[in-house]
C-alpha cells in the first residue's frame, strides 16, 4: 500500500470517528434548557428537560400551568399561586419549592425523564 493510500485511509477513518462522536454528543432532549413560554397569565419559565425533547417539555409545562377548569394544575387564591400535584401526559408533577407568593418551582417526572420549570 502506498503512502498516499495509507494517508487517505487514515483520513477516512478519522472522519468516520468524528461523525460517530458527533452523533453521540448530548442533545437538547437529554440535557437542555428549553427556554420559556410567552403569553399572558401564569407562565412557565426556565424550562429544562432531561430525557425528553424540548417540544414535549414545553407542551407539558404549558398544560400544567393552566387553571383546573382548563385541565391544568395551577390556581390563584388572592395573590398567592397554588399548584396541586397532578398527572398530565403520564408525568407526575409536584411543587419542589415556593420561591415567593407568586413563584413556584415545579418538577415533573416519568421514569428517568424529568421536566423542571418555574411558574410565575
For the chain, domain boundaries: 32-119
* pLDDT tens over the chain, length 120 residues: 565 555 555 545 544 544 334 333 334 445 689 999 998 889 999 999 999 999 999 999 999 999 999 999 999 999 999 999 999 999 999 999 999 999 999 999 999 999 999 999
Task: Quote the pLDDT of residue 5.
Answer: 54
Structure confidence at residue 41 (pLDDT): 86
Nearest to 89 by CA among 112, 107, 69, 63: 63
| 46 neighbors 36 (Cβ within 8 angstroms) | yes
In 3D, which of 112, 114, 94 has the Cα closest to residue 49? 114
Q: Which three cell numbers stand for residue 110?
A: 416519568
Amino acid at each position: 500500500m502506498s503512502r498516499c493510500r495509507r494517508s487517505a485511509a487514515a483520513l477516512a477513518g478519522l472522519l468516520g470517528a468524528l461523525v460517530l462522536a458527533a452523533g453521540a454528543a448530548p442533545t437538547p432532549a437529554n440535557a437542555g434548557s428549553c427556554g420559556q413560554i410567552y403569553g399572558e397569565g401564569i407562565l412557565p419559565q426556565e424550562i429544562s428537560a432531561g430525557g425528553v425533547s424540548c417540544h414535549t417539555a414545553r407542551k407539558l409545562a404549558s398544560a400544567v400551568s393552566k387553571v383546573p377548569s382548563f385541565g391544568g394544575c395551577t390556581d390563584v387564591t388572592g395573590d398567592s399561586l397554588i399548584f396541586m400535584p397532578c398527572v398530565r401526559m403520564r408525568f407526575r408533577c409536584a411543587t419542589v419549592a415556593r420561591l415567593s407568593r407568586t413563584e413556584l418551582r415545579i418538577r415533573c417526572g416519568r421514569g428517568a425523564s424529568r421536566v423542571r420549570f418555574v411558574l410565575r
